[in-house]
Amino acid sequence: MKFLFQNLWERKRAVAVVIVLLLLQALCELSLPNYTADIVDVGIQQYGVDSTAMERMRGSTYDALAVFMSPEEVSYFTSCYEKDMEGNYVLKQTVAEDKEQKARLESIMKEPLVIVYFMEYGVEDADLDEYGSMMGEGTFDLSGARQMLTSGTLQPSALYSMRGMVEEKFGELGDSLMDQMSVLMVQKEYEELGMDLYAMQMAYLKRKGLQMILMTLGMLSAAVVLGLVASQTAADIGRSLREKVYTSVISFSGKEIDQFSTASLITRCTNDIQQIQMVEVMLLRMVLYAPILAIGGIVMVARTDTSMSWIIVLAVAVIVGVVAVLLKFSMPKFKMMQKLVDRMNMVSREILTGIPVIRAFSREEHEKKRFEDANVALMETQLYTSRMMAWMMPVMMLIMNCITVAVVWFGSKSIAVGNLQVGDMMAFITYAMVIVMSFLLLTMMSIMLPRAGVAAERIQEVIQTAPSIVDAPQTRDDELEAIKGEITFHDVSFAYPNAKSNVLEHIDFTASVGQTTAIIGSTGCGKSTLLNLIPRLYDVTEGSITVDGIDIRELSQKKLRDAIGYVPQKAILFSGDIRSNIKYANEDISEEQMMRAAQIAQAEEFISETPKQYDNHIAQGGSNVSGGQKQRLSIARAIAKNPPIYLFDDSFSALDYKTDKALRSALFEHAKDATVIIVAQRISTILHADQIIVLDDGRIVGKGTHQELLNNCEAYMEIAASQLSEEEIRKTKGGVL
């Protein structure tokens, strides 16, 4: 899991941009419920009157409000208004624009507005029937107080004391109810002044609607840019991982390749990296966004109403419990899934590459069964995890619907007692959904992250696997201005990793410059293994191999391999054309050099017969050319490099005798100043070699020319007897053939 976040940490700038965009998106999204609440509570219920600090009021109202204020409050109140020509009082512009001053004025005016409202309009007013029943008629006589105030009987101190009684009584009813009643007084006052409340309402709704549109556009823009940045960052992570995996794999020796298997490496380079890339996008877009949204939602809920917070806490606890149960049963299957994908990939690859053999042996049903077993195992695992995850959405929807019902149930009670407004309840429901959805996103990611974690571990395993064959800390490249090519095996033994016995034992011989050394022996005696030790595809277990007197382990791999033209036992061509395959080792060679290499390899004849000649297309793996043509093109590729050392690993087996003889004749003439080592099965291929090494069970049992070995090597004589007639053996013993 750490690996996933480490990739993001390496791209701190992009992550910083993503966080800024997420904050902007969350700010816009979290502001929308408040705008909805304002539209319902203020725009619809209060006719757009959003402040108790009245913009204008009559002189009588001004005087009545001042009566129910303390001297300090009266001082501030009078400083906020100025009298116009009509005798009305108008709120000063400086106060209207200063939020702190306006908020203080609203706080001072709220209770006096409620008292004056009751004294001015009385509880018999239709708008106040509900409030009158709540107040409990007879507790104190507001209408009587109104008459005493008009007649001048009540003193200011008594009036201010009466305000305390009203505050205490209304305090029992809730601040929300007092806010609504104070706004009713403002509405009545505006009506008395002849102001158009409908126009005020429409202006307020339009203003809030426009703000909502702007916030929505801001949220949309942030989401679009965020998606772009997140996708680019994840794609860059995928590119970087593929590059790291490729760099690691290309440096692997045969030991590491055998450790992972080709099928597994293909899955890791494709499916596993794709999993990581997808999760990195979700990390940037969801995992980082969910806590921001949840924290923001909690802050907004705390500002709206904390009495129902327990509903959200309970819902989150239930969600976490449900997800924990799902994870307990599904996580082992998620970890198994990648291994099943590996197996599916391996079986598919074997079947697709082995179709001719499968058909030749009528094994279609057997291979179909193998594929079906791998396919069904993967399908059953995916179905199990899908069924487990299918429970999540209905359960989450049930929880969210229960939250809505609970909020409406308990919120309606708060509305009834005046502690909450309808718009605030709507906002609370929205914020509750936001918080729950945030935790839902996090829990969903907790399911996806482990699978991506498995993929990350597999990728990390490849990247962190150190190749067993590396350059020495101090190479001796400078001692060789140019490699001449003399190769010497000094008591070399070799065993494959984890093998119980050696494949090669005590190999001693020298392949001199300008000579051809051939290696022959029965199948499985170690011929190809011996050849693979020279370019350090594997390193010797004991002894050493030198080139021009220097241990190859003390040369850099590039220096060594640049001096070798290698033709593997299985001819390998790359997709492209004939030209690109011959020039594979050196793209800078001339057309004449390329054609000369093709002529020596006896490939020019079939190349000239193709429609586009050297530009003729070569399919992946060379599947559109014959085995012999592939071998000749592979040989031409090595010849075009013109190296001082040639290694041919049974590279003439697919050629007919005529082509084989012509190719060897041209090759030996071309490479007369180079060191040539040939692994062969046919004696006719190595008949004229300067030195023939005979291997048997990993040991040298014969060394010499063809004639010498026929006379003194029993193992060689057995091979010759199986391939040559008695007449040919007799002639070659005498050196005639």
3-state secondary structure of 482: coil
Residue 600 · residue 606 · CB < 8 Å: no
Find the mean pLDDT for residues 178-186.
79
Find the mean pLDDT for residues 417-424.
68
Using one digit for the tens of pLDDT, what is the confidence trace for 540-598? 888 999 998 888 888 888 888 888 888 888 878 888 888 888 888 778 788 888 888 88
The winner for highest mean pLDDT among 246-260, 306-320, 329-343, 498-512 is: 498-512
pLDDT at 210 over 90: yes
Using one digit for the tens of pLDDT, what is the confidence trace for 665-705? 888 888 888 899 988 887 877 778 889 898 888 888 888 88
Residue 514 · residue 520 · CB < 8 Å: no
Q: In the prediction, which pLDDT does 638 show?
A: 87
Output the CA torsion sign for 72, 76, 81, 83.
Answer: positive
Alpha carbon distance 149, 163 (integer Å): 13
Question: Structure pTM?
Answer: 0.65
pLDDT at 43 over 60: yes
Length of the chain: 737
Find the mean pLDDT for residues 354-368.
80
Using one digit for the tens of pLDDT, what is the confidence trace for 272-297? 888 888 888 888 887 788 888 888 88
Domain residues of the chain, as ranges?
Answer: 2-26+207-464, 59-192, 564-642
Q: In the prediction, which pLDDT does 161 show?
A: 53
Q: How many helices (H) and strands (E) does the chain have?
A: 31, 15
> 564-642 maps to which CATH number?
3.40.50.300
Residue 639 · residue 567 · CB < 8 Å: no
pLDDT at 441 over 50: yes
Q: In the prediction, which pLDDT does 141 show?
A: 47
Q: In the prediction, which pLDDT does 80 show?
A: 92
CATH superfamily of 2-26+207-464: ABC transporter type 1, transmembrane domain (1.20.1560.10)
Residue 181 · residue 131 · CB < 8 Å: yes
Question: In sequence order, which residues have a C-beta less than 8 Å from that of residue 453 and are 6 or more positions away?
Answer: 1, 3, 4
Q: In the prediction, which pLDDT does 701 show?
A: 87
Q: In the prediction, which pLDDT does 126 show?
A: 38
Backbone angles phi, psi at 521, to 5 degrees: 170, 175
3-state secondary structure of 649: strand
Pairing state between β 617-618 and 516-521: unpaired
CA distances from 432 to 29, 42, 438 (A): 13, 22, 10
Question: Half-sphere exposure (CA, 13 Å, Cβ side) for 235?
Answer: 6
Find the mean pLDDT for residues 11-20.
87
Q: In the prediction, which pLDDT does 142 show?
A: 46
Q: For all residues of the chain together, what is the average pLDDT?
A: 80
Give the pair of three-digit tokens for residue 594. Answer: 């390329």
pLDDT at 42 over 90: no
What DSSP character marks residue 48? T
pLDDT at 166 over 70: no
Q: What number of other Cβ atoms are within 10 A of residue 254's Cβ?
A: 16
Q: Which of 190-194, 370-374, 401-405, 685-689 has the lowest mean pLDDT?
A: 685-689
